[in-house]
Amino acid sequence: MRKSLIGAAVAAFATVMVFAAPAYAANGTISVTPATVPAGGTVHISGKIPVSKCPASNGATVTSLAGLFPPDGFGPTATRDSQGAFALDYTVPTSTPAGSYDVGLRCGGGNVGISASLTVTAVPAGGVSTGAGGTAHGSAFWAVFGAVCLLLAGVTMAARQRLARRSG
């Protein structure tokens, strides 16, 4: 019982820390591209937090729910340039549940107060189809078609050789 209460208190504290009132005016920027990605895919997160609000020496930490940034909702921290701009690539864990996620920012220990939306889709059963381009789903047909073409090419070459021997 006591461990349950402590666990609940820690979870509540983490939620408050991630979604607390912004420490800075919401005049920064954030973008996530692409806006929709399958679990296991990579997104590019970039933006700018004005150095007047948070010194450039402080990194920009991306935040969201624990499903997107396990185990606590805090993602990677990106270094910022002298104007406060940052960029990073993030691979969404394959265990991330499909859904819509608000991706926010923290800087210098406080929430910046801006967010961008990211939609995570489920990975299709059996994984992503690869190879053979658009033929991946009809590969049996194309295998038979290729075998017939090779057979016809072989028969044609044999016939040409036979004709060449007879006329020579």
Q: What is the pLDDT of residues 32-41, one digit of tens each?
A: 999 999 999 9
Asked if the model's pLDDT at residue 15 lies above 80, the reply is: no
Asked if the model's pLDDT at residue 9 lies above 60, the reply is: no
Q: How far apart, in whole angstroms, are the C-alpha atoms of residue 17 and residue 111? A: 8
- 66 class by beta-carbon count within 10 Å (0-12 exposed, 13-18 middle, 19+ buried): middle
Give residue 131's pLDDT: 55
Give the residue from 136, 135, 96 showing the smallest Cα distance to 118.
96
Tell me the mean pLDDT in the region 13-19.
Answer: 41
Please check whether residue 102 is in contact with residue 116, taking contact to mean a CB–CB distance below 8 angstroms. Answer: yes
Where residue 50 falls among pLDDT bands split at 50, 70, 90?
A: very high
**Residue labelled with tokens 């996620």:** 101
pTM of the predicted model, to two decimals? 0.61
Render pLDDT for 128-163 as a digit per residue (tens, 0 to 9).
Answer: 555 555 545 566 777 777 778 788 888 888 778 877
Give residue 163's pLDDT: 78
Q: What's the mean pLDDT when you consider all of the chain?
A: 80
- What helix, strand, coil percent values describe the chain, rounded to 5? 30, 30, 40
Q: Which of 25-39, 57-71, 74-88, 106-120 has the lowest mean pLDDT?
A: 25-39
- Which residue stretches of the chain are H helix? 2-19, 139-167
DSSP 136: G
Please check whether residue 27 is in contact with residue 84, taking contact to mean a CB–CB distance below 8 angstroms. Answer: no
Give residue 20's pLDDT: 42
